[in-house]
């Protein structure tokens, strides 16, 4: 790690750690310290951000300070509060990758690789395996899951179209339900929904998306030219090997279920914010794993790799902090009132029209480089579920599905860029050409559900 970035991850973790302490011990000195740390981390990170991301974050930051100076009685205090506004979400993004440490150190990814190799010349099974694998590990590894899976299959004989479709379909299905994803955490936080009430909706939508993706691929796979791999010489595989790998896959699934179960129980007992609980779970799971299995050496090795990764989270850090500052600045202003009126007017026309407008607005901004993390919280925070006439959880699903679908289509979105880089293909090709039919199918199903929902 370079000298100038050596201290950056320390400051980032200190910011997250003090936030967790402040959550349970909300005293004024800690609040000021937290705001100063946020500002320090922001200015350290923004120096290395380039291009449109730099322009957007600095614009949001500057506009927020200007709005606070013009409209707030205590602009300095409001700005210090605003820089902390998205800190619960940022802590989640920074700390959740810690959950991957037991999986990486335990060698569980080798079991997923085993099955993918086995299915490489069977397109439908390969697609199912890839999309399912990403749906399974993405809630834990987030965008890192795509890179890990691609490292497994990069040298295999799998058609690029299969990879491009399965990566995005598997990954975005997790965005609909996992509390360890920013999409779910942010939207539920903004609309006032509860994860325990939302999870059934989110999981159902995710399974429908996976089903649609696999059915569409079943129809289109006949057009792909697959080169069969040469049959290997008769080498008998130990029948116990597959059993071991299958057991490891079930362990990953059990770990995910266990973390979700713990989260639901803790949320119902403690009534602590889901965002804070997720961050706490992310911190304690690796520690419990290392303590129970005496894996302190492996934990330390993986932790050093983790520090290197968070040192390069400049885009996420700057966007989260500046978007939170801007979001608090426009609250209770004339601009905020105009957004509320616009959304309410669309909702009064019809629920379907409201959803299409949300999707179009988010897609437009995503395609010009403005991340959903900026646009959706601003929209979601201005919507009243009472005026629209639906539960917070159903409203959350609409915003989260808009987030996931536009992430697939936008060539400037992080997950599209990662897949494009892995496959050496244009982002528009991967988004619109390879996955456009899938997105239109999902949108059509959403429209059908909303039409039925509006009848009751």
Q: DSSP labels for 28-81?
A: HHHHHHHHHHHHHHHHHHHTT--HHHHHHHHHHHHHHHHHHHHH-SSHHHHHHH
Element (H, E) at 377: helix 372-381
Mean pLDDT for the stretch of residues 322-343: 80
Element (H, E) at 115: helix 109-118
CA distance 168 to 404: 9
Is 232 a residue whose pLDDT tops 70?
A: no
Is 388 a residue whose pLDDT tops 90?
A: no
| pTM for the model | 0.78
* Region of poorest pLDDT, from 100-109, 205-214, 358-367: 100-109
Q: What is the pLDDT of residue 234?
A: 45
Strands (E), 245-388: none
Is 50 a residue whose pLDDT tops 60?
A: yes
Q: What is the pLDDT of residue 235?
A: 46
Percent of the chain with pLDDT over 70: 93
Structure tokens at 169: 């379909």
* Region of poorest pLDDT, from 167-181, 201-215, 366-380, 428-442: 366-380
Q: What is the pLDDT of residue 43?
A: 94
Is 233 a residue whose pLDDT tops 60?
A: no
* Region of poorest pLDDT, from 12-16, 128-132, 252-256, 426-430: 252-256
- Binning pLDDT at 50, 70 and 90, where does residue 420 land? confident
Higher-pLDDT residue of 451, 167: 167
């Amino acid at each position: 790690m370079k000298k100038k970035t050596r201290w950056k991850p320390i400051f980032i973790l200190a910011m997250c750690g003090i936030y967790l302490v402040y959550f349970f011990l909300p005293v004024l000195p800690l609040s000021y310290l937290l705001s100063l740390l946020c500002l320090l981390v922001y200015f350290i990170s923004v120096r290395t951000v380039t291009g449109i991301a730099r322009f957007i974050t600095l614009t949001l930051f500057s506009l927020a300070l200007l709005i606070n100076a013009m409209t707030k009685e205590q602009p300095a205090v409001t700005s210090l509060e605003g820089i902390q506004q998205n800190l619960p979400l940022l802590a989640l993004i920074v700390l959740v990758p810690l959950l991957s440490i037991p999986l990486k150190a335990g060698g569980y990814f080798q079991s997923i690789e085993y099955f993918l190799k086995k299915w490489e010349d069977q397109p439908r099974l390969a697609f199912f395996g890839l999309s399912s694998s990403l749906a399974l590990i993405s809630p834990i590894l987030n965008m890192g899951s795509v890179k890990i899976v691609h490292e497994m299959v990069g040298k295999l004989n799998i058609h690029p179209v299969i990879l491009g479709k399965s990566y995005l379909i598997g990954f975005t299905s997790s965005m609909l339900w996992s509390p360890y994803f920013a999409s779910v955490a942010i939207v539920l936080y903004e609309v006032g929904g509860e994860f325990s009430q939302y999870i059934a909706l989110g999981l159902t939508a995710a399974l429908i998306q996976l089903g649609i993706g696999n059915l569409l691929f079943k129809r289109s796979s006949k057009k792909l030219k697959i080169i069969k791999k040469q049959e290997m010489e008769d080498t008998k595989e130990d029948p116990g090997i597959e059993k071991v790998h299958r057991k490891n896959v079930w362990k990953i699934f059990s770990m995910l279920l266990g973390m979700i179960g713990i989260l639901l129980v803790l949320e119902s007992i403690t009534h602590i914010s889901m965002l804070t609980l997720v961050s706490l779970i992310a911190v304690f799971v690796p520690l419990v794993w290392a303590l129970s299995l005496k894996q302190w050496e492996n934990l330390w090795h993986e932790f050093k790799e983790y520090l290197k990764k968070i040192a390069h989270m400049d885009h996420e850090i700057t966007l989260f902090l500046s978007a939170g500052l801007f979001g608090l600045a426009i609250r209770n202003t004339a601009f905020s009132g105009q957004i509320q009126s616009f959304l309410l007017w669309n909702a009064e026309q019809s629920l379907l029209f409201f959803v299409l407008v949300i999707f179009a607005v988010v897609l437009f901004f995503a395609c010009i480089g403005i991340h959903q993390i900026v646009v959706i919280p601003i929209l979601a925070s201005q919507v009243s579920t009472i005026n629209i006439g639906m539960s917070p959880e159903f409203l959350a699903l609409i915003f989260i599905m808009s987030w996931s679908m536009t992430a697939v289509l936008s060539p400037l979105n992080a997950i599209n860029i990662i897949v494009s880089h892995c496959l050496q293909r244009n982002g528009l090709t991967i988004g619109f050409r390879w996955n456009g039919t899938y997105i239109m199918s999902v949108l059509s199903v959403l429209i059908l559900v909303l039409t039925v929902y509006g009848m009751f």
